[in-house]
Amino acid sequence: MKDILDNAIRIARLAGNKIKEMQQDKSFTEQLKFGYELVTSADIASNDIIISEILKAYPTHRIISEESEDHNFSIPGPTWIVDPIDGTVGYANGHYQVCISIAFAEQGSVQAGVVYNPFLDELFYAIKSQGAFLNSERIRVKEVSNLNQCVIATGFPHKKENIAHITSFLARLLPHIRDVRRMGSAALDYCWVACGRIQGYYEGGLAPWDMAAGRLIAIEAGATAGHYALNTPPTLPEDIFGVNIIVSSPGIFEEMKNVLETT
């Protein structure tokens, strides 16, 4: 797994440098996917680098990327799960809370994850059962026991449907927490829980590429990960099942889940 991780780090840095350069030069173009979701030429450039580098190193492996065609999430064999830019809306507006997310899974279970923010040169990574790291330093979640001491992040879907339902969860939580953040990258939200900069994160619907790497990093840093208000059984392996996710410091997990579920 060390070889997989080293390659994922090398590739994330290559793609990260490319998107940083394109933001600095303002050399990217913007388009809409599905009529409502922003995608830039930097998302595509990053995708091209990541796919070609993975296939050079591991020609037989499968790759599921947000910006590629294959979105069949049955992942029995060695599979890479890639978000070439997580935080595209922020990226296009010159923000720095943007990353490349690369995970490696086998038998439906994520074994290694890399999340790289090229703007802050912050590299988060983990191998299953071997702890989580930020730029070579071991990271741990912050120890907290009351939700009212906590800064909690959330995110919203690109498709602006069911807004009253989505904001009802924020309305429930807000009176119980110190403050809320919407930073614009799910993968970095997981990593910020992992390094203690925030103490929890929840969101109604993530895709596998938003969460695969970050979730492993958060768990390896001691976070608890689960779901709130889940009415149906998971339809994907837990590591990539993004419906109503919560991740937090263990000491507030139950309280946060209860508050989100209390009508």
Q: Which residues bind ligand IPD (CB under 6 A)?
A: 83, 86-88, 155-158, 184-186, 203, 206, 210
Integer Cα distance of 117 and 147 in angstroms? 28
Torsion over CA: 234, 237, 239, 242 (sign): negative
Contact (Cβ atoms closer than 8 angstroms) between residue 208 and residue 101:
no
The structure tokens listed for 140 are: 């741990």
66 makes contact with Ca ion (CB under 5 A): yes
Name which of Ca ion, ligand IPD, none residue 33 binds, using a CB cut-off of 5 to 8 Å depending on partner kind: none
| Residue (of 233, 229, 172, 178) closest to 200 by Cα position | 178
Select 131 or 157, whichever has its Cβ closest to ligand IPD. Answer: 157
Any idea which residue has 């998302």 for tokens?
A: 43
Site for Ca ion in 209-248 (CB under 5 A): 210
Name which of ligand IPD, Ca ion, none residue 87 binds, using a CB cut-off of 5 to 8 Å depending on partner kind: ligand IPD
Integer Cα distance of 184 and 130 in angstroms? 28
CB of 170 to ligand IPD, least distance (A): 13
Select 155 or 251, whichever has its Cβ closest to ligand IPD. Answer: 155
Contact (Cβ atoms closer than 8 angstroms) between residue 62 and residue 77:
yes
Number of Cβ atoms within 10 Å of the Cβ of 59: 7
In the chain, the amino acid numbered 237 is: P
Integer Cα distance of 113 and 154 in angstroms? 21
CB of 78 to ligand IPD, least distance (A): 23
Per-residue binding string, Ca ion, 67-86, x by CB under 5 A, is ----------------x-xx
Select 86 or 255, whichever has its Cβ closest to Ca ion. Answer: 86
Name which of Ca ion, ligand IPD, none residue 204 binds, using a CB cut-off of 5 to 8 Å depending on partner kind: none
CB of 131 to ligand IPD, least distance (A): 24
Name which of Ca ion, ligand IPD, none residue 117 binds, using a CB cut-off of 5 to 8 Å depending on partner kind: none
Integer Cα distance of 173 and 4 in angstroms? 39
| Chain position whose Cβ is nearest to ligand IPD | 155
CB of 185 to ligand IPD, least distance (A): 5
In the chain, the amino acid numbered 107 is: Q
Question: Burial letters for 212-233: b for 16+ Cβ neighbours within 10 Å, e otherwise?
Answer: bbbbbbbbbbbbbbbbbeeeee
CB of 183 to ligand IPD, least distance (A): 7
Select 210 or 255, whichever has its Cβ closest to Ca ion. Answer: 210
Select 192 or 253, whichever has its Cβ closest to ligand IPD. Answer: 192
Give residues in contact with Ca ion (CB under 5 A). Answer: 66, 83, 85-86, 210
